[in-house]
A and B are shown apart, each in its own frame.
Chain A
């Protein structure tokens, strides 16, 4: 009946349709969106890199120059002071969070006790609340207990938002734990402390290390919470950047951005290799 149509349309048998679909995969809708999104995601970084090498102060391109890098490294004492503060807080808060969080995760994973549900719920909440709520509530709290705003309050705040991430990562590692190892250690006469230090902690090491590094990153990155709990003289790098860009473009920030982007890529790459190395061991 429809011979005419059949001639004009390609065959619509199942095999042919599969073949056509496989061939037509060149430029799908999802691929187009993905490529566009990637361009969108990278464009700002590209612009920063480009203008960090621009000689002029504005965005009009004049010629290639390293003047902003020179200024960044040799003429930005305040910036480096702020970086020092950031690094200090990042490492102390990450270390504290890692210590407390690892123990907490082991406890929750291992034992049944009265506070268990409470700990599980309360380590989950800070991750989902908007940052500003944590910042505001801590500011009000510090004012209430009359703790002077400064490096100490920033340290407390950072440890608070770092802890849940360490907790989560160690928990994830513990979940895939082979419990017979523990039983074996016990049977061989290890006490609680020995089991913890010689079995559990080494096995959890990848979780602990990635928890620690995530904490360092989050701490270096944080602006909103730090903004609320910082006081005079406790400027961190994000706070410094904020005051520099508050009223427009400042070219030293261009070179700083490129150095920070490179730093993150290098750090992350070495972290990946490190974790692989640990996992292989």
Chain B
């Protein structure tokens, strides 16, 4: 994590707790406590009208193994993996192009402006494009490509498309900032040594920006894995994701322990991903430090 050694001079009173106390209190009360409650609830029996009964039970986790939920969980995972893969595949060349450009500020602005637009408005815009009487159908109809209106909305493909749209900037930005620090002369060197363009990318660029790629994957995968609004608005019955199940269990079926157990599942997956990311970054930082120590060798980098 961040290493900023405290600079307090010796002998002065320590006001640390006083300064950070409100922050600690706020998060303990409104972040840590609710999470602990969720953990507890996931091990309790469900109440008759919502809420829980104070009886220990593994019912919630048992129903996670139930085929219907397992199917939704797998579907959520598949959707997240596909959407993340498409996002990264688009974001990598974009980040590379931006990093090599001379107009970085302008290109960054281009990527960020759509991102500033309200989340729901962007979803809505896609509904207006893909809807039965939407922009796309209108254009196709006028050009004479289709006679009947095509149903683009309310299916799995629409969910993936809109998810990719929503989280593209999340992937482009970290990739851009990592590639920006990359030493492009290494690519020249690879080409001079006979690598093809593709080889120079896959064997030189990608291994050097691994931690950036992982950050981008995480930044897209985590919100997509917990998606709620997008599948609700542009998805059909078959594109329900875990987030929607949680909401349903909470507000309709009123099975709070189950909602808590699913939330726990998402939290654990997320936390595990973040821990791997932090380890990777730590390793990267160590490797950089070691390389710095060993500069002076003609070889420089490893391999």
- Using a CB–CB cutoff of 8 Å, the interface residues on chain A facing chain B are 14, 17-18, 21, 28-31, 33-34, 37-38, 40-45, 47-48, 51, 58-61, 100-101, 103-104, 106-116, 118-126, 128-134, 136-141, 143-144, 156-157, 159-160, 163, 167, 171, 174-175, 179, 182-183, 186, 192, 217, 220-221, 223-224, 227-228, 238, 241-242, 245-246, 248-249, 253-254, 256-257, 260-261, 264-265, 268
Contacts and interface: CB of A to CB of B under 8 A. Distances in A.
Given A111-B8, A245-B127, A33 B90 contact: yes
Nearest to B138: A59
Given A103-B19, A160-B31, 20 more contacts: A30-B100, A31-B97, A33-B93, A34-B98, A37-B168, A40-B168, A41-B114, A59-B133, A110-B6, A112-B6, A120-B2, A123-B23, A124-B1, A129-B267, A132-B246, A133-B226, A140-B256, A192-B15, A223-B119, A224-B228
Contacts of B12: 192
B127 A41 contact: no
A6 B256 CA distance: 76
B222 A143 contact: no
A42 to B, nearest CB: 6
A47 B125 contact: yes
B118 interface: yes
Contacts of B13: 192
A174 B227 CA distance: 34
Q: Which of B15, B90, B134 has the most CB of A within 10 A?
A: B15
Contacts of A58: 133
A268 B125 contact: no
B168 A41 contact: yes
Nearest to B115: A41
B78 to A, nearest CB: 17
A260 B117 contact: yes
Contact of A112 (B8, B18, B26, B165): B8
B135 A223 contact: no
A115 B17 contact: yes
A257 B125 contact: yes
A25 to B, nearest CB: 9
**Chain B: interface secondary structure?**
helix
Contacts of A156: 30
B23 A245 contact: no
B117 to A, nearest CB: 5
B269 to A, nearest CB: 10
B19 A167 contact: no
Contact of B19 (A44, A111, A254): A111
Contacts of B100: 30
A239 B23 CA distance: 28
Interface of B: 1-2, 4, 6-9, 12-24, 26-28, 30-35, 37-38, 41, 51, 90, 93-94, 96-98, 100, 107, 110-111, 113-129, 131, 133-135, 137-138, 165, 168-169, 172, 188, 191-192, 218, 222-223, 225-229, 233, 243, 246-247, 250, 256, 259-260, 263, 266-267, 270, 274
Contacts of B34: 134, 137-138, 140-141
A18 B187 CA distance: 12
A51 B135 contact: yes
A144 B117 CA distance: 35
Nearest to A33: B93
A158 to B, nearest CB: 11
Given A44-B126, A114-B17, A241-B120, A109 B4 contact: yes
B120 A47 contact: no
Contact of A29 (B2, B28, B93, B233): B93
B226 A132 contact: yes
A49 to B, nearest CB: 10
B120 to A, nearest CB: 5
Nearest to B7: A179
B226 A100 contact: no
A126 B7 contact: no
Contacts of B138: 59-61
B94 A37 contact: yes
Nearest to B112: A268
A45 B114 contact: yes
Contacts of A221: 118-119
Nearest to B17: A113
Most A CB within 10 A of own CB, among B2, B28, B260, B274: B2
Contacts of B97: 28, 30-31, 33-34
Nearest to A246: B233
- Quick one: which of B19, B222, B225, B226 has the most chain A CB within 10 A? B19
A228 B113 CA distance: 28
Given A34-B98, A138-B34, A163-B27, A238 B120 contact: yes
